[in-house]
């Protein structure tokens, strides 16, 4: 039984990460489309839907962790950073990522109420969330290898830096 739960913890974490990765790629693609003056409505819908699915998978990741009899976590050990003796730093990074993702989800749902400009500024912090999730997976995961994660992330990182460069180039030229 313990082995199955462990498989599910790894599977839900890995699928959540891959969905988040795809969501990041789709989000970056929407900015490329915007630069090319193309419509981005459908792309943004996909970006948001993928992030919602990642959140569902992360909820499952936590539920399986709670039922893990190998370590036997209490709820507060999963929800309060550094409350556990089991790999405290990678666990805390996971908990902080969870909260950051929840804040992103809630502020996106309330973006009209909080104002699009404020929401956009908050959303600019999501690369930090992605870096945190990547660090969590690399530090604690069984299946995550630094070389393959680096390879996987070269493309989104390059697009992100290109968009930053373009934005900076446009704002200094203006």
Q: What is the contact surface with ligand HEM in residues (CB under 6 A)?
A: 9-10, 13-14, 16-17, 20, 58, 61-62, 65, 78, 91, 94-95, 97-98, 101, 133, 136-137, 140-144
If the CB atoms of residues 28 and 65 are measured against ligand HEM, the closer one turns out to be 65
CA dist., res. 41 & res. 38, Å (int): 10
- Least distance between ligand HEM and beta carbon 82 (Å): 10
Give first-to-last CA distance, the chain, whole Å: 62
- Least distance between ligand HEM and beta carbon 113 (Å): 24
If the CB atoms of residues 52 and 170 are measured against ligand HEM, the closer one turns out to be 52
- Least distance between ligand HEM and beta carbon 87 (Å): 7
If the CB atoms of residues 42 and 142 are measured against ligand HEM, the closer one turns out to be 142
If the CB atoms of residues 83 and 163 are measured against ligand HEM, the closer one turns out to be 83
Q: Please tell me the total number of residues recorded for the chain in this structure.
A: 174
C-alpha radius of gyration, the chain, whole number:
18
Task: For residue 128, count other CB atoms closer than 10 A to its CB.
Answer: 12
If the CB atoms of residues 127 and 141 are measured against ligand HEM, the closer one turns out to be 141
- Least distance between ligand HEM and beta carbon 159 (Å): 21
- Least distance between ligand HEM and beta carbon 15 (Å): 8
- DSSP code for 128: H
Give Cα separations from 103 to 12, 13, 42, 60, 81 (angstroms). Answer: 21, 19, 23, 18, 16
CA dist., res. 28 & res. 84, Å (int): 36
Q: What is the DSSP string of 99-127?
A: HHHHHHHHHHHTHHHH-HHHHHHHHTTHH
């Amino acid at each position: 039984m313990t082995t199955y739960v462990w498989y599910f913890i790894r599977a839900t974490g890995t699928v959540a990460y891959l969905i988040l990765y795809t969501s990041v790629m789709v989000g970056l693609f929407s900015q490329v489309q915007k630069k090319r003056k193309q419509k981005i409505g459908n792309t943004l819908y996909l970006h948001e839907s993928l992030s919602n699915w990642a959140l569902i998978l992360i909820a499952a990741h936590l539920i399986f962790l709670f039922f893990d009899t190998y370590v036997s976590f209490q709820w507060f050990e999963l929800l309060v950073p550094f409350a556990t003796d089991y790999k405290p730093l990678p666990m805390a990074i996971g908990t902080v990522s969870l909260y950051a993702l929840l804040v992103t989800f809630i502020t996106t749902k309330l973006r009209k109420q909080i104002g699009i400009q404020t929401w956009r500024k908050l959303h600019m912090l999501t690369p930090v969330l992605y870096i945190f999730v990547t660090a969590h997976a690399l530090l604690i995961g069984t299946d995550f290898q630094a070389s393959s994660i680096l390879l996987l992330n070269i493309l989104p990182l390059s697009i992100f830096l290109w968009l930053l460069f373009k934005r900076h180039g446009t704002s200094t030229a203006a």
